[in-house]
Amino acid sequence: MLMLMWEGSPLFWTFLPFLFFATSSFAKHYGGPAYDPSAWTECQAEPEAPLYNGGILTNTFPVYKPVKDINGDMVYSPTLSLENLSPGSIYSFSSWVRVKNLDSALVTTTLKLDTAYSKCIGSVIAKKGCWSFLKGGFLWDSPSNSSQIDFQSSEQTKSYNYVKFGQTENLVVFQERKRAVMIHVVDKNGFIVTGAAVKVNQISTDFPFGTVISRTILENLPYQKWFLERFKTTVFENELKWFKTEPLPGQLNYTVVDQMMKFVRKNNLIARGHNMFWPDPIYVQDWLENMTAPQLQRAVKFRIDSVMSRYRTEFFHWDVSNEVLKFDFFEKKLGPKATLDMFKKIHREDPLTTLFLNEFNIIEQCDPKANVDSYINKLKELKKGGVTLAGIGLESHFSIPNPGFMRAVLDKLATLKLPIWLTEVDVNRVHGLEEQALYLEQILREAFSHPGVNGIMLWSARSVGGCYQTCLTDEKFQNLPTGDIIDQLLLKEWKTETKRGKTNEFGSYNFRGFLGDYKVSVIYNHTVFNSSFSLGRGVETKHITVHV
């Protein structure tokens, strides 16, 4: 059962739902329609036409049933019946929603898998006087093949849609993560060379995929070896956070950070700065709590100045503020523009670094405080306040992932045209190792398959006593099932395998490869000629000429 629920009362709203059903977005392989990433974040005077022409719900009309709302009042809820649901299939759902009696309200859709369990599969902050777009989805994992969608307190319908999908991966990887290459071989006189042996090796990838490290890597050579064989991008677990570098006022200690930065430089890594500020009361130093506003303002400035004077230009990202949708310590003390002022100060100090908000539960699950629309509103506030170089950080601490929900949220975030990173990916340790690996693979494939995602960071540092939630290796740095998944994706599937062949009658050799840097070797007249090239995003074939 799908039920549209809300927070706030009284609330009356109208809706135009759709549910789309297809075995995969990769129509070429599965025979279904291609996945439509369309999304709207602005309220519309009139709703757009339903995606997929209504999908499975085309010509389906709701039946209105009396149900109790969250206040116990009886309201009439439209119900749409679903049949022939396929276990293991992903379904996309969307709806246009409008509230009548409130200025705005959070509307959520929940999927009831059985009589005892339901989960949220989408939400939107609906507004009065215009239509707001709700997009969600779910993985159907119930043995039943039927269900129903309930919309509480709906007064009218105009259109709806519902669609079934598998993975989007094959199509998006082919279109967004790869590009066609044609290598031309010519001699010193400019004549084409046929039959020349060509070998192509990818030496680095264009998609940043990394993991967190802790100070324990500094003294642990097996840890270093395992890490450096896989990753070129990293972030520090706790060492750079304010409560670590200034535990008491004015007593700075960057010793460990300096050592970790030396490791980064020595091994040609790039590092994210995590984090400048974290307003969670648990991680706010006691000495900050009793400060007056002017005192706290000076402390904030001192924090920025001390970090930037030491590490300006060293980090290619900065998580400026962690979890501002959940916690508001600085806003309470310094006013509603506290986070905006932090962004501006850091930008002035390091103008080429992308500055991120970093939040959890945006793609993991529905959360009344940290949802896609509240996050979008916060990002729009920053833009309106003059922040231009901003990024969207999604912490991605999962229990059981919902690929359909995750995909829908990424669609809405991508409309902002900002860099999107999964910054702290892990899976809760309550699951066994095999389950963790299964869920981790689902998350990573879904993220890599979305064209709006620019990079992925795992949260899997091995410290004394283990890892936060997800370990990739045992204490001897032998892969666990989760580590095997990383190797399968990062070192095999998402990297172009060595290509070998000969130039054709036109003196060329072509292939399609993942974006990144390549080395080309051509053997002609018993001599090896080496060249290199970079493959960036583009729809056109990349042409490379090698002179022999």
Residue 487 has pLDDT above 80, yes or no: yes
Q: Are 50 and 195 in contact (CB under 8 A)?
A: no
Domain 175-203+496-547 architecture: Sandwich (2.60)
Of the two residues 317 and 158, the one the predictor is more confident about is: 317
Give the pLDDT of residue 78.
56
Copy the structure tokens of residue 288. 């900050």
* pLDDT band at residue 175 under the 50/70/90 scheme: confident
Residue 69 has pLDDT above 70, yes or no: no
Q: Look over the chain and give the mean of its residue pLDDT values, rounded to a whole number.
A: 87
Of the two residues 535 and 2, the one the predictor is more confident about is: 535
Least confident of 31-45, 289-303, 333-347, 454-468: 31-45
Give the pLDDT of residue 121.
86
Least confident of 130-139, 342-351, 537-546: 130-139
Most confident residue range from 7-16, 34-43, 85-94, 511-520: 511-520
The arithmetic mean of pLDDT across residues 464-488, rounded, is 96
Q: Any idea which residues carry the catalytic annotation?
A: 323, 424
Location of structure tokens 């970093």: 358
Among candidates 422, 474, 472, which has minimal Cα distance to 447?
A: 422
Give the pLDDT of residue 21.
43
Sign of CA dihedral 188, 190, 192, 197: positive
CA-CA distance, 190 to 167, in Å (whole number)?
A: 46
Q: Are 503 and 511 in contact (CB under 8 A)?
A: no
Q: What are the DSSP calls for 194-236, one per residue?
A: -S-EEEEEEEEESS-EEEEE-GGGGG-HHHHHHHHTT-SEEEE
Cross-strand bridge partners of residue 125: 106
* CATH entry 3.20.20.80 includes domain 234-261+270-462: yes
Of the two residues 116 and 253, the one the predictor is more confident about is: 253
pTM of the model: 0.91
Q: Which helix (H) or strand (E) holds 445?
A: helix 433-448
- Is the bond into 275 cis (omega within 30 degrees of 0)? yes
- Is the bond into 247 cis (omega within 30 degrees of 0)? no
CA-CA distance, 314 to 265, in Å (whole number)?
A: 9
Give the pLDDT of residue 93.
83
Copy the structure tokens of residue 83. 């049949």
CATH class of residue range 63-168: mainly beta
- Summarised one tens digit per residue, pLDDT across range 96-107 is 888 777 788 888
- Summarised one tens digit per residue, pLDDT across range 408-422 is 999 999 999 999 999
> HSE-up of 463 (CA within 13 Å, CB side)?
15
Give the pLDDT of residue 88.
82
Location of structure tokens 């010509």: 59
Parse the chain into domains and list their residue ranges: 63-168, 175-203+496-547, 234-261+270-462
Q: What are the DSSP calls for 259-314, one per residue?
A: HHHHHHHHTT-EEEE--SB---GGGS-HHHHT--HHHHHHHHHHHHHHHHHHHTTT
325's CB contacts (< 8 A; 6+ apart) are 359, 369, 370, 374, 375, 378
Residue 6 has pLDDT above 90, yes or no: no
CA-CA distance, 344 to 87, in Å (whole number)?
A: 49
